[in-house]
Each structure stands twice: as C-alpha cells, then as structure tokens.
Amino acid sequence: MHINWSGLGEVFAIALAAGVGLVVLFSLGIAALGRRNNEGEATAVNTAVAGVCFLACVALVGYGIYLVVAK
C-alpha cells in the first residue's frame, strides 16, 4: 500500500500557512478597524494598518483564484 506522505504533508503545511495566515490577517484588520473608535488612539495609524491587512488578504485570495484558473 502506497501512501503519499510527502504530498499529504505538503498539503497540510501549505494549507495551514495559507488558511491560518488569511484568517490572522483579516482578524488583525478588523481589530485595527475596531480600535479607530477608541479614545486616545491614533485613527490614521489604525486605518493604515487595517488597509494593509485587507490588501494582503485580497492579494492572498487573488493568488488562490489565479491557482484555480491557471491549473
């Protein structure tokens, strides 16, 4: 019986990085958005952080769509 352990491991490692990475980036973006309403926090900085996070998410999703289409 042949089990493709390296393929399985590869899927697990990449999916873990991409899936968790996407959720972490998005969560950080939402956290930054939420902080804009707090008093005493720099609104511009938080807006910028949120923007960078969401842009990174878009890039990651775009790469995913590219993989689907280019396959």
Return the number of the residue (10 or 42) whose C-beta is nearest another protein.
10
Nearer to another protein, 3 or 44 (CB): 3
Closer by beta carbon to another protein, 39 or else 71: 71
Size of the site for another protein (CB under 8 A): 36
DSSP string over 6-27: HHHHHHHHHHHHHHHHHHHHHH
- Within 18-57, the residues that bind another protein by CB under 8 A are 18-20, 22-24, 26-31, 33-35, 37, 57
DSSP-assigned letter for residue 38: S
How far, in whole angstroms, is CA 30 from its chain's centroid? 12
